Amino acid sequence: MDLERLIYLEEDTLSEEFCQSCIEKFNRDPNRYQGVTGQGVVMDMKQSTDLSISTVPGWEREDKILYKSLAKALDKYTEFIPAEYRDHVLNPQTK
């Protein structure tokens, strides 16, 4: 499978102002935590500061905007996937 044919890029879907506002809000939010993997904190694998905005009060507006943007891009991605890969990508349990 030529994986490069499955990479889709959607540019400029969020405004610069919205992104800057999210960054500033994230940096101020006391609910941030050390990023974890399925095996817990593994610094060799993941070094990040996380915040689950879908579950943190005060992030409802941003969560809704990000969700809508992602949903639109996913719709476009399903059309972008080459036909010979579509079933495998959209239904990975299919052999």
76 or 3: which leads in pLDDT:
76
Spatial neighbors of 33 by CB under 8 A, at least 6 apart, are 49, 50, 51
53 or 83: which leads in pLDDT:
53
Tokens of 10: 């959607």
pTM equals: 0.76
Spatial neighbors of 89 by CB under 8 A, at least 6 apart, are 6, 81
Residue 76 · residue 66 · CB < 8 Å: no
Q: pLDDT for 3-40, tens place per residue?
A: 788 888 999 999 999 999 999 999 999 999 988 887 77
For residue 59, the tally of other CB atoms under 10 A from its CB is 19
DSSP code, position 55: T
